[in-house]
């Protein structure tokens, strides 16, 4: 049993008397920060001016155009970096009028403030282009005493995280109030120590850029080998189909008959292809959760965990208790080279199970395809995953999607009939190696993020001496 005893004088001016606020680990972290005495400052003292902490808003109607100004939501702001894979855009006029106060500028420190994703921080740089944020995060701009990368790494470290955990309020929709954010405490370390953190961040950014560039090379090589690298389509305002075609397909929505699908299909048909049902020994849905999520247990892979042909690291996964899963059939567990495809929500994204992912569970809203011997002889799983993500998803799965559903989804018959072009094994492996190389660079980038957090924690625990 864990408990702490505190004096009445320690009750934060009687603003908080709940036991949760005074957990022993929080008090220990607070004690370490207080060692910095005069160099320990509140965020409110260090902001550039009164307008240096602002949040955004969601535009009326939330109608996002295909291009425009980046509009960052909490899923785009990660600990130490940005994920632009599903970024949306807003109109430039809204950016400069309605959301003028939350326009991002170079060296802004962003912090997510609501829901289960609160407390994540990253630094925005001007080379990302113009951008804005919604009401679920804030932008902060600090005086020259603080290097932005140091502030962001501090917020992502246990010394920033515990303050977010302490100050969050609300049950149905937890949120961090602006005044609470102003009351965060941070040691103003000498600039040379802050520069150490910045240097690690810059190395991380270099690795992240390298990862993105290599992945782009894999995508370009895939298009080149399939004959789609110079594909151009005339986006006509209308097109015609015979009524008899709608009867055969049993679809009357215009999107299904967009000529772009048949144009891509013609190019792919120049290659020999194999359907998944002919090269897989097992294609099946995953399992529903067998217990509430726990801190440690069996990793549970969901559609949101399928990233650039790989399954997310453990820190992004949910876990099911071992006791609740011990009687599950073996078909719900992953094996190396299994391909997991998102069936609902993020429809069509896929990833390959590695040796590390063996015996992990995959969720009911995903579909797993396990290659048989012929499939493994003919195909590289990472080539297949990239093909599914970049070609099958936009030109096959999203076309076949169940439009009547509240949440768009695909199904087993559609996945069974998904066809993959049979390139030479040598060409497939060249593409697959680029995907793997990109993943290794991203992995190194994440390791550098952890190093930055550890460095801050080490400096604080040594009272600034390092």
Return the pLDDT at 403: 53
Q: Do domains 35-188 and 218-434 have the same CATH topology?
A: yes
Q: Which regions in the chain score pLDDT beneath 70?
A: 1-22, 233-239, 241, 243-250, 252, 254, 402-407, 464-466
Residue from 223, 177, 217, 241 nearest 43 by CA? 177
For residue 394, count CB atoms less than 10 angstroms from its CB and return exposed for 0-12, middle for 13-18, buried for 19 or more. Answer: middle
pLDDT of 14: 45
Place of tokens 């908080």: 16
Q: Where are the domains of the chain?
A: 35-188, 218-434
CA 309-311-315 angle, to 5 degrees, is 145
- pLDDT for 90: 94
Contacts of 397 (CB under 8 A, 6+ apart): 347, 348, 388, 410, 414, 418
SS3 annotation, 18-86: CHHHHCHHHHHHHHHHHCCHHHEEEHHHHECCCCCEEECCCCCCCCCCCCCEEEECHHHEECCEECCCC
Sheet with 131-133, side-by-side order of all strands: 88-90, 69-72, 131-133
Superfamily name and number for 35-188: DNA methylase specificity domains (3.90.220.20)
Task: State the pLDDT at residue 301.
Answer: 97
Query: pTM of the predicted model, to two decimals?
Result: 0.81
Please state the separation of Cα 405 from the chain's center in Å: 25
Model pLDDT for residues 293-348, shown as the tens digit of each residue: 998 999 999 999 999 999 998 888 999 999 999 899 999 999 999 999 999 888 99
pLDDT at residue 261, rounded to an integer:
87
Query: Tokens 């535009």 sit at which residue?
Result: 59
pLDDT at position 85, please? 77
CATH topology of domain 218-434: Adenine-n6-DNA-methyltransferase TaqI; Chain A, domain 2 (3.90.220)
* pLDDT in the model for residue 409: 86
What is d(CA 69, CA 408) in angstroms, rounded to the nearest whole number? 27
């Amino acid at each position: 049993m864990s408990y702490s005893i505190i004096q009445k004088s320690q009750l934060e001016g009687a603003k908080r008397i709940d036991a949760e606020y005074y957990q022993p680990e929080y008090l220990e972290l607070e004690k370490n920060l207080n060692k910095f005495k005069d160099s320990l400052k509140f965020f409110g003292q260090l902001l550039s001016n009164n307008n240096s902490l602002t949040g955004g808003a969601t535009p009326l109607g939330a109608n996002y155009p295909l291009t425009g100004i980046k509009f960052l939501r909490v899923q785009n702001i990660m600990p130490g970096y940005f994920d632009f894979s599903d970024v949306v855009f807003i109109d430039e006029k809204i950016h400069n009028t309605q959301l003028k106060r939350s326009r991002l500028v170079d060296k802004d420190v962003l912090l997510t403030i609501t829901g289960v994703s609160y407390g994540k921080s990253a630094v925005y740089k001007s080379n990302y282009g113009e951008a804005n944020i919604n009401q679920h995060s804030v932008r902060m701009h600090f005086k020259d005493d603080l290097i932005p990368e140091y502030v962001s790494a501090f917020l992502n470290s246990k010394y920033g995280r515990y303050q977010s955990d302490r100050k969050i309020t609300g049950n149905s929709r937890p949120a961090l109030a602006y005044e609470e954010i102003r009351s965060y405490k941070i040691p103003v370390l000498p600039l040379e120590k802050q520069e150490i953190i910045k240097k690690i961040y810059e190395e991380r950014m270099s690795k992240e850029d390298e990862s993105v560039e290599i992945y782009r090379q894999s995508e370009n090589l895939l298009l080149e080998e399939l004959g789609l690298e110079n594909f151009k389509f005339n986006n006509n305002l209308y097109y015609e189909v015979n009524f008899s075609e709608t009867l055969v397909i049993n679809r009357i929505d215009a999107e299904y008959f967009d000529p772009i699908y048949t144009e891509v299909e013609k190019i792919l048909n120049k290659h020999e292809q194999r359907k998944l049902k002919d090269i897989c020994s097992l294609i099946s849905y995953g399992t529903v959760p067998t217990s509430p999520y726990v801190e440690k247990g069996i990793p549970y892979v969901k559609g949101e965990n399928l990233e650039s042909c790989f399954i997310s690291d453990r820190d992004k996964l949910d876990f099911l208790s071992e006791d609740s899963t011990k009687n599950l059939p073996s078909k719900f567990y992953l094996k190396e080279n299994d391909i997991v495809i998102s069936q609902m929500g993020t429809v069509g994204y896929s990833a390959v199970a590695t040796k590390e992912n063996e015996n992990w569970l995959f969720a009911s809203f995903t579909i797993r395809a396990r290659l048989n011997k012929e499939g493994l002889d003919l195909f590289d799983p990472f080539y297949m995953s990239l093909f599914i993500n970049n070609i099958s998803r936009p030109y096959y799965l999203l076309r076949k999607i169940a439009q009547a559903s509240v949440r768009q989804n695909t199904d087993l018959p559609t996945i069974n009939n998904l066809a993959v072009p049979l390139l030479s094994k040598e060409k497939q492996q060249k593409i697959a190696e680029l995907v793997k190389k990109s993943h290794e660079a991203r992995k190194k980038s994440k390791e550098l993020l952890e190093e930055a957090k550890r460095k801050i924690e080490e400096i604080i625990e040594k009272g600034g001496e390092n």
